[in-house]
Amino acid sequence: MAELHVELVAADRKVWSGTATLVVARTASGDTGIMPNHTPVLSVLESGPVTIRTTDGGTVIAAVHGGFISFADNKLSLLAEIAELADEIDVTRAERALELAKSESDAHAERRAEVRLVAVGRRKAA
pLDDT digits (tens, 9 = 90+) for 20-46: 999 999 999 999 999 999 999 999 999
Mention every residue, 6+ apart, whose C-beta is less than 8 A from residue 104: none
Pick the CATH number of 4-85 from 2.60.15.10, 3.40.50.300, 3.10.20.90, 3.50.50.60: 2.60.15.10
With H, G, I as helix, E, B as strand and everything else as coil, classify residue 114.
helix
Domain ranges of the chain: 4-85, 91-120
What distance in Å separates the CA atoms of residue 118 and residue 126, rounded to the nearest whole number? 9
Could you read off the pLDDT of 74-122 as tens digits, one per residue?
999 999 999 999 999 999 999 999 999 999 999 989 999 999 999 998 7
What distance in Å separates the CA atoms of residue 24 and residue 41, rounded to the nearest whole number? 13
Could you read off the pLDDT of 39-75 as tens digits, one per residue?
999 999 999 999 999 999 999 999 999 999 999 999 9
